Each structure stands twice: as C-alpha cells, then as structure tokens.
Amino acid sequence: MQILNSSFFLKWVFLIILSSLSSSPCLASDPFGNTSQSPVYQSSNEIPFDQVDWNRAQGIFSWITMSRGFSDTPWESSEGRPGWRTMEDAYVKPVEPGISEFSAATDTFYIVFEGQPLDAPAQFAAAWFEMKDGKVTSNIPVDKDVIELDMNQRFGYFEIYQPEDGWKPGNYLVKIYYGSPGQDLHLINVIGTMQFTIKN
C-alpha cells in the first residue's frame, strides 16, 4: 500500500512540474527582459568588428558597417519596417560606409549589414552605451533597436537615433546581439561590438 501511495504521489509531482513548464511564457515583448536594463556590460569575450576594413565576412555577417544612410529595394514587412529578400531579389548599399564620427546634431545613423544565409528566422538587436576612459560606465543602455529576419532575408539595419535629451559628446559602444525570435537576449548572445564618437 505504501508503494502504491508513493507511486501515486510521484505521478502528481511529475504532472505539476510538466504543467508549470508548459504554461511558462516563451515570448518576450522586449528581448532584454526590461525596457531599461541590458545584460551585464563587462565581458572579456566581446569581439570588436573591424569598422575600417568592413567589406568582408565578420562572424555571421558577410559585411557590417556604420553609415549615414543606405539605398535599397525594400519590401514591406509585417512590422512596418522595410525588409529584404535574397541577394538576387534585393540588396542594401550603405551610404558613406565605415564612418564612426557624428555631430551632436545627427538625428539618426545606421548600422547596415548583410547576414549569412539563415536556416531559421533570427532576431538581431543593438544596444548602445556611453563610455568613459575606454569603458562602459553603466549597464543601462542609452537605447536599443531590435529587428527580426526571416529565413529568406539577408540584409538589415539598425537605427541609432538621438536620445530625447540630445547626444552627449563622447564615445559610445554598440553591442550586437543574435538569437531566436522571442528569445530573451543575454550577455552570451553578444556576437560583436562597434564604437562611435559624438562631437560638438
């Protein structure tokens, strides 16, 4: 009788655990888990992208660069942001690529990229942080931008836009994140970094 009771008890425990796992949310409205917080900002394994010799493969990108703008042949995505299909269907050409210094009057500039062919939809994010003496000073980003690419999309861009209270002159670090759509993004998702400078 005692063996039967313990078996019955174990089945109930298993069912409770299973139901709690299946009811857990798998999608996050903000991949950072919070609109103001970002993962821990210090990491020894973050790899800076080459911003001078940018037109070459770096990590999962065929190329990635900062630019003042871009020319493209877009199609409208479900999120309302232009997207791109394949190398044959469309492409993005950065305007003034390789730039990393901007005036404080700059409203928006871009990080434009071509990704390697994807075997599944992917989520990319950029978060930018103020720097002082070559180091990030806070784990709260100035802001961030998140996009999703479908399997047949290879080109995309991040919008780096001026904060509401204006740019502070100085250096900034951009962290680029990669993950699955709806996945929370953490330090392990950082696939590279870039830097830019705001001048008066």
Rounded Cα distance between 178 and 21, Å, is: 25
Q: What is the pLDDT of residue 112?
A: 94
Rounded Cα distance between 187 and 195, Å, is: 18
Using DSSP's 3-state secondary structure scheme, residue 160 falls into: strand
Q: What is the pLDDT of residue 183?
A: 82
Taking only the tens of pLDDT, the chain with its 200 residues reads 444 455 554 454 444 433 333 332 222 345 665 544 454 444 445 799 999 999 999 999 999 999 999 886 555 555 555 554 444 445 678 999 999 999 999 999 999 999 888 888 899 999 999 999 999 999 899 999 999 988 878 888 999 999 999 999 999 999 999 998 888 888 889 999 999 999 99
Number of Cβ within 10 Å of residue 61's Cβ equals: 22
Structural domains present in the chain:
27-199 (2.60.40.2550)
Q: What is the pLDDT of residue 35?
A: 47
**CA distances to 9, 25, 88, 173 from 196, in Å:** 60, 36, 32, 7
DSSP string for residues in 162-179: --TT-PPSEEEEEEEEEE
Q: What is the pLDDT of residue 71?
A: 80
| CA 123 to chain CA mean position, Å | 7
Using DSSP's 3-state secondary structure scheme, residue 149 falls into: strand
**CA distances to 42, 66, 67 from 95, in Å:** 32, 9, 6
* Residue whose pair of structure tokens reads 């009057």 in the numeric block: 105
Q: What is the pLDDT of residue 93?
A: 83
Rounded Cα distance between 27 and 29, Å, is: 7
